């Protein structure tokens, strides 16, 4: 079997409309990734371990529902398209549930009651975003089966992803700082960004209809197990995780790192702005590299670059403060590849599985990807909270313990670098590419 190739079939406008759909998840998840843990610990006063547990429980619940939503969307036959009815139906609930997680209890609650309060709101939000993102992601691979056009489609997704990550990083803090009371600021910020989140899913209806694909009657649990038995898909999922998890760690720890290690909280927006602008502008470069090499090799080059750049954050803070714009530029250039390559690789593994006769429905493949991604992300955020508790982190204190400062450096640099090295190792054994050829069924062991 040769790797699936198709004919380019999408106009630039259609690619832009599809990519715009990424904006809702970007605004929501970037804001949550950078500020939610900090909001729970430093504004609400929740213990770091409990704050991490809020995120972990919500994300694990979300991860469990991901494959099921994918499986259900396979069976949503209607004249609007089986994916788009989920995408549009989730738009307004997504904005509302996002806004609610930034609300505050009307009266003082104890630690456990506060923990239960935010866990419930976060679980509600995260279920809705599952109902949006799994069908949206699956729609992308069904709009085209052309090897290079899929990379281009992923590039447009990431243009909106990284491009809107900048306002999602800077705007919340600006809005919060307008108010004397941080709780009020976060509440207003939640509703402003929540309103914006509702708009972008409506662009997706102009991206075109998904290609007709056979949807079998494979039961849910069998589909789930069968997808994971396919070795190239397992590799693609790991490559996805080892690229996205370092980004999640950076998002969760970076504000702590700037405030308590660098003592440069005021430079946070500048550094993140440079990083994200560069990451957005570098996307066409990584798309070009993928075209010249292939997705796997471009992935390996990108992760190797990131590994080197992120270790710079271990250097003394006096050195870092003087070169902050340059460092942000270099990290942003490398981060760009972590966004585009994994998104472009996964559909190739799914196509290979379908062509090899794996009895898993289409939607469940992407549901499994998000299941593994969110489970690992949830555990990582919980680990951050647990580590901060263990080393004696004191929320809001001007001076933190030496153990806390060391922990922040390890979490922001060493752990992400180790994950990207694992991604390179997995990619070395991934055999699906533009020129890959096999005979018969792909080895699923």
pLDDT tens per residue, range 3-19: 344 455 778 888 888 88
Among candidates 102, 134, 115, which has minimal Cα distance to 52?
115
Count how many Cα atoms sit within 13 Å of the Cα of residue 203 in the half-sphere of its side chain: 19
Q: Which residue has the higher pLDDT, 207 or 281?
A: 281
pLDDT-based confidence at 106, cuts 50/70/90?
A: low
Buried b (16+ CB within 10 A) or exposed e, 351-379: bbbbebebebbbbbbbbbbbbbbbbbbbb
Which of 31-45, 206-220, 248-262, 412-426 has maximum average pLDDT? Answer: 412-426
- Give the confidence band of 441 by pLDDT, cuts at 50, 70, 90: very low
Query: Is residue 433 scored above 70 in pLDDT?
Result: no
Q: How confident is the model at residue 1 (pLDDT cuts 50, 70, 90)?
A: very low
Q: Residue 4 has what DSSP assignment?
A: P
User: For the chain, what is the mean pLDDT?
Assistant: 82
SS3 content of the chain, % helix, strand, coil (to 5): 75, 0, 20
Contact status, residue 104 vs residue 44, Cβ threshold 8 Å: yes
204 has a pLDDT exceeding 70: yes
Pinpoint the alpha helices (H) of 104-219: 111-143, 147-177, 182-197
pTM to 2 decimal places: 0.69
Quick one: pLDDT at residue 196?
92
Question: Do the beta carbons of residue 413 and residue 313 sit within 8 Å?
Answer: yes
Q: What is the number of H-type helices and E-type strands within the chain?
A: 17, 0
Q: What tokens were used for 206? A: 């102009």
Most confident of 39-48, 201-210, 334-343, 370-379: 39-48
pLDDT category at 187 given cuts 50, 70, 90 is very high
Mean pLDDT of 238-249: 88
Cβ neighbours of 438 (radius 10 Å): 15
Question: What is the DSSP annotation of 292-351?
Answer: HS-HHHHHHHHHHHHHHHHGGGGS-HHHHHHTHHHHHHHHHHHHHHHHHHHHHHHHHHHH
392 — alpha (psi -120 to 50), left (phi > 0) or beta? left
Q: Which two tokens stand for residue 89?
A: 């139906």
Q: Which range in 159-163, 165-169, 283-287, 361-365 is most confidently predicted, on average pLDDT? A: 283-287
pLDDT at residue 318, as a whole number: 84
- 303 pLDDT above the threshold of 60: yes
**Spatial CB neighbours of 423, under 8 Å, sequence gap ≥ 6:** 238, 239, 241, 242, 243, 299, 303
Q: How far apart are CA 64 and CA 189, in angstroms?
A: 29
CA distance 372 to 233: 12
- With beta carbons less than 8 A apart as the criterion, state whether 358 and 232 touch: no
Which residue(s) pair with 430 in the sheet?
A: none
Q: Is the pLDDT of residue 277 over 90?
A: no
Contacts of 331 (CB under 8 A, 6+ apart): 275, 306, 309, 310, 312
Selection from 166-180, 188-202, 347-361 with the highest mean pLDDT: 188-202
What is 12-204+219-428's CATH topology?
A: Growth Hormone; Chain: A; (1.20.1250)
Helix axes 22-38, 147-177, angle to 10 degrees: 40
d(CA 174, CA 176): 6
């Amino acid at each position: 079997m040769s790797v699936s190739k198709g004919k380019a079939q999408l106009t630039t406008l259609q690619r832009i409309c599809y990519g715009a759909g990424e904006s809702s998840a970007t605004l929501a998840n970037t804001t949550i990734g950078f500020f939610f843990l900090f909001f729970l610990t430093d504004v609400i006063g929740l213990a770091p371990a409990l704050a991490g547990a809020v995120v972990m429980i919500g994300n694990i619940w979300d991860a469990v529902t991901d494959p099921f939503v994918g499986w259900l969307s396979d069976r949503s036959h209607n004249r609007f398209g089986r994916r788009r009815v989920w995408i549009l139906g989730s738009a307004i609930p997504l904005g509302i549930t996002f806004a609610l997680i930034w609300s505050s209890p009307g009266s003082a609650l104890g630690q456990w009651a506060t923990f239960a309060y935010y866990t419930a709101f976060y679980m509600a939000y995260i279920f809705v975003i599952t109902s949006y993102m799994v069908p949206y992601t699956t729609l992308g691979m069904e709009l085209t089966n052309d090897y290079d056009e899929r990379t281009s489609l992923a590039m447009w997704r990431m243009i909106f992803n990284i491009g809107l990550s900048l306002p999602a990083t800077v705007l919340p803090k600006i809005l919060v700082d307008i108010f004397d009371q941080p709780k009020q600021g976060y509440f207003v910020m939640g509703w402003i960004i929540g309103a914006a989140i509702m708009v972008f899913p409506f662009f997706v209806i102009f991206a075109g209809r998904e290609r007709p694909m056979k949807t079998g009657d494979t039961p849910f649990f069998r589909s789930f197990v069968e997808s994971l038995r396919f070795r190239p898909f397992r590799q693609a999922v790991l490559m996805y995780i080892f690229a996205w998890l370092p980004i999640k760690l950076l998002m969760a720890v970076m504000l702590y790192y700037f405030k308590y290690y660098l003592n440069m909280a005021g430079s946070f927006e500048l550094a993140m702005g440079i990083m994200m602008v560069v990451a957005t502008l570098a996307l066409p470069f990584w798309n070009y590299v993928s075209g010249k090499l292939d997705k796997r090799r471009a992935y390996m080059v990108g992760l190797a670059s990131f590994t080197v750049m992120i270790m710079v954050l271990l250097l003394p803070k006096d050195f870092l403060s003087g070169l902050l714009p340059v460092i942000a530029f270099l990290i942003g250039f490398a981060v760009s590849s972590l966004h585009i390559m994994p998104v472009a690789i996964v559909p190739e593994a799914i196509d290979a599985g379908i062509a090899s006769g794996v009895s898993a429905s289409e939607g469940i493949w992407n549901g499994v990807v998000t299941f593994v991604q969110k489970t690992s992300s949830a555990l990582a955020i919980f680990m951050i909270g647990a580590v901060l508790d263990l080393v004696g982190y004191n929320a809001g204190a001007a001076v933190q313990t030496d153990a806390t400062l060391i922990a922040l450096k390890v979490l922001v640099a060493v752990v992400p670098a180790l994950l990207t090295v694992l991604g390179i190792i997995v990619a070395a054994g991934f055999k699906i590419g533009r020129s890959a050829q096999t005979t018969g069924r792909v080895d699923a062991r």
